Amino acid sequence: MFGLLCFVMAVLTSPFKSKIRLEAENAALRHQLNILRRRLHGRVRLTNNDRWFLMQLYRWVPSILQVLTIIRPETLVGWHRAGFRCYWRWKSGRRGGRPQIDAELRALIRLMSIENPLWGAPRIHGELLKLGFQVAQSSVAKYMVKRRGPSSPGWRTFLRNYAPEIAAMDFFVVSTIGFDLLYAFVIVRIDRRDLVWVNVTKNPTAEWVARQITEAFPWDGAPGYMIRDRDRIYGGIVTRRLRAMGVRDKPTAPVSPWQNGFAERLIGSIRRECLDHIVVFGEAHLRRILRSYACYYNEVRTHRSLDKDAPVSRPVQRTGSIKPFPILGGLHHCYARV
């Protein structure tokens, strides 16, 4: 009954509508009927052409909202607003101006700003000009890494600046085949991770440690700082010997082995790569093993922290046949071209 009443009211008001409005409403009704006819089952599926057709009708004759039945009026309005946003996004897009710089150059600007926290845009711009890049200073400032606080070097840069003047020493215990305990003493430089000194004793004393330090740095090669733990073996004789050599003694905090991380990492490498695979017979045997490993560690073994180079830099060999040389009885090998 209600539908019949609506039909009668539409017929009565139709003479008062404009011809364009009637044609638009008829076109909307016919299109909705075509959409319903091609529906196979379930929900009505609208294509992009259907959406575009209804949006254009709504754009020209907004009154077609009254005859829409398969979609809600707010859905059509939402389509129209989304299309309006896309249109103006396209219309207001950049038509000219300065071209965008290459991704490689942007990455280089970010790298320079990260590696040089004290540099500003003018300094980086000057370096890029010397490298042959034609770029504006404003573009350099745009792609630099933004920092919240004042620029200052990080811990990595700080340690890299002071690494040539820092060395570390430590003891570790090794058991023999007869369950005797031997004490191995190592000194490592932080700069190139080179194993400066290694020796073994059964009864470590402060006098023995002081003598090892003197033998490790006989002339003017002593570092500026020496990191050590707070073991009682480092008595007053050791501290006086360091002071006489011009070395500043830097003991770590109590129960803080991570503060002597370079020496601890070296000892871990010695255990994992050497001593865990060898049975030690005595003091002389252990000394010979550690000195052989020290030669391998300094001259052959590559380090990730040194860009896959050895502490004593190895030259790159490109010609010749490759031949392996056994080290520590074949536990490790050195490969060289001959």
For 98-145, write each residue's pLDDT tens digit: 677 888 899 999 999 888 887 889 889 988 888 888 888 988 998 898
Domains and CATH numbers, the chain: 11-85 (no CATH), 103-152 (no CATH), 161-337 (3.30.420.10)
CB 279 within 8 A of CB 179: no
Q: What pLDDT, on a 0 to 100 scale, did the predictor assign at position 1? A: 40
Structure confidence at residue 4 as a pLDDT band (50, 70, 90): very low
Beta strands in the chain (DSSP E): 166-175, 181-189, 195-201, 225-228, 248-251, 322-327, 332-337
pLDDT of 168 strictly over 80: yes
pLDDT tens digit string along 8-18? 444 445 554 56
Q: How far apart are the first and last CA of the chain?
A: 104
CB 121 within 8 A of CB 140: yes
Structure confidence at residue 36 as a pLDDT band (50, 70, 90): confident
CB 200 within 8 A of CB 292: no
Longest Cα separation, the chain: 119
Compute, in degrees rounded to 10, the torsion defined by CA atoms 318, 319, 320, 326.
Answer: -20
- Mean residue pLDDT of the chain comes to 84
| Cα separation, 239 vs 245, whole angstroms | 10
Beta strands in 100-214 (DSSP E): 166-175, 181-189, 195-201
Average pLDDT over residues 82-91: 81
Q: For 109, which DSSP code?
A: H
Look at phi and psi of residue 97 and say left if phi exceeds 0, alpha if psi is from -120 to 50, else beta: left
| Cα separation, 132 vs 294, whole angstroms | 46
Structure confidence at residue 5 as a pLDDT band (50, 70, 90): very low
Report the number of secondary-structure helices (H) and strands (E) in the chain.
12, 7
| Cα separation, 198 vs 187, whole angstroms | 7
**Angle CA 315–164–225, to nearest 5:** 145
